[in-house]
Amino acid sequence: MRGWGTGARFLFFGTFFAVASQFTGAQANAGLSAQSAQSRHNNVRLASRSRPANRYAYHGAISCVPYARAASGITVSGNAWEWWQNAAGVYARGSVPEPGSVLTFRSNGRMRLGHVAVVSTVINSREIEIDHANWWGPGMQGGIAKNIPVVDVSENNDWTAVRVGLGQSGDFGSVYPTYGFIYDRPDNGMMVASAIAPAPKPVLNPAPSDLRPATERGWDTYEEVAEAPQVARYHGRVVHTVSYHTTKPHKHY
3-state secondary structure string, the chain? CCCCCHHHHHHHHHHHHHHHHHHHHHHHHHHHHHHHHHHHHHHHHHHHHHCCCCCCCECCECCHHHHHHHHHCCCCCCCHHHHHHHCCCCEEEECCCCCCCEEEECCCCCCCCCEEEEEEEECCCCEEEEEEECCCCCCCECCEEEEEEEEECCCCCCCCEEEEECCCCCCECCEEEEEEEEEEEECCCCCECCCCCCCCCCCCCCCCCECCCHHHCCCCCCCEEECCCEEEEECCEEEEECCEEECCCCCCC
Question: Has residue 15 got a pLDDT over 50?
Answer: no
Each residue's pLDDT tens digit, 143-163: 899 999 999 999 999 999 999
Percent of the chain with pLDDT over 70: 61
Each residue's pLDDT tens digit, 212-252: 999 998 776 654 433 444 444 445 554 443 333 333 332 22
